[in-house]
Amino acid sequence: MIIAPSLLASDYSRFGKEAERVAASGAEWLHLDIMDGQFVPNISFGPGVVGAVRPFAKQLFFDVHLMCGQPEILLEPFVKAGANQLTIHVELADKVPQLLWKIKALGLKVGLAVNPPTAITAAQPYLDMIDCLLVMTVNPGFGGQSFIHECLPKVQQAEAWRRERKLGYRIEVDGGINYETTAECARAGADTFVAGTSLFGAHSLKAAVSKMRKIAHAYDPAFADLKV
């Protein structure tokens, strides 16, 4: 089980310090939301900012979520910025296979994201090429939205395919993830939890990360005895 705090919900005036806080919280990943004002109706930050934050959180896995219409122009810049995984959206249709190969060729982990209105079957042709399947549980563009419960069957389907086809991709959920929805997603088969508002809004980020992890582990057969 991996907890990935999303920098989008942190204090924008001190990204370096916030990344340091995530590194000290016990989280394994830092989730970085890249929005281009075209694929989604919002703009966040780009490779320059990610590169500047990198030295503050050397041990964290940088999980870069590209909500961008033209990710092809950003892949190399994000490699240079220190990304470990690049996730592109399946809604980019014809562009998807080439983008996935390019990310792999650059030596990074490969992620594929599916928006709430998109059927999970859109990701099916790519399952053996990816390291992470990101099931969006809100419509991308903004933090602080409510979890869309209708997305849960997609997590179950992703888990069923992984089991049947003996594949190893992670199943990541993103949007409206709090303690309650962590439990629901973990029960459905998710193993990687992106959370912005709920974690950064907590009194102690460290305590919140550890509580979220415990809740997720409670649904992992390997940790069945753990009390939350």
Binding stretches for Zn ion (CB under 5 A):
33, 65, 174
Q: Which residues contact 171 (CB under 8 A, 6 or more apart)?
A: 132, 133, 135, 155, 158, 159, 162, 189, 190, 191, 192
Q: Which of 36, 63, 174, 191 is catalytic?
A: 174
Give the nearest residue (CB) to Zn ion: 65
Helices and strands of the chain, counted as H and E runs? 8, 8
Which of 126, 209, 122, 114 has the alpha carbon at shortest distance from 152? 114
Q: Tell me if 132 sits within 8 A of 2, measured CB to CB.
A: no
Which does residue 9 bind out of Zn ion, ligand DX5, none, counting CB within 5 to 8 angstroms by kind? ligand DX5
DSSP state for residue 146 in the 8-state scheme = P
* Number of residues this chain uses to bind ligand DX5 (CB under 6 A): 22
Task: Specify the residue, 167 or 183, whose C-beta has the smaller distance to ligand DX5.
Answer: 183
Residue 189 within binding range of ligand DX5, rule CB under 6 A = no
Task: Specify the residue, 167 or 206, whose C-beta has the smaller distance to ligand DX5.
Answer: 206
What is the closest distance, in whole angstroms, from the C-beta atom of residue 33 to Zn ion in the complex?
4
Residue 47 within binding range of ligand DX5, rule CB under 6 A = no
Q: Which helix (H) or strand (E) holds 50?
A: helix 47-53
Q: Tell me if 214 sits within 8 A of 3, measured CB to CB.
A: no
Q: Which of 11, 33, 128, 220 is catalytic?
A: 33
Range in contact with ligand DX5 (rule: CB under 6 A) among 48-56, 122-130, 194-202, 208-216: 194-202
Name residue, tokens 């919280």. Answer: 25
What is the closest distance, in whole angstroms, from the C-beta atom of residue 146 to ligand DX5 in the complex?
8
DSSP state for residue 67 in the 8-state scheme = E
Tally of CB atoms within 10 A around 191? 20
Residue 118 within binding range of ligand DX5, rule CB under 6 A = no
Site map (CB under 6 A) of ligand DX5, residues 148-177, x = contact? --------------------------xxxx
**In the complex, which residues of this chain contact ligand DX5 (CB under 6 A)?**
6, 8-9, 31, 33, 65, 138, 140-145, 174-177, 194-198
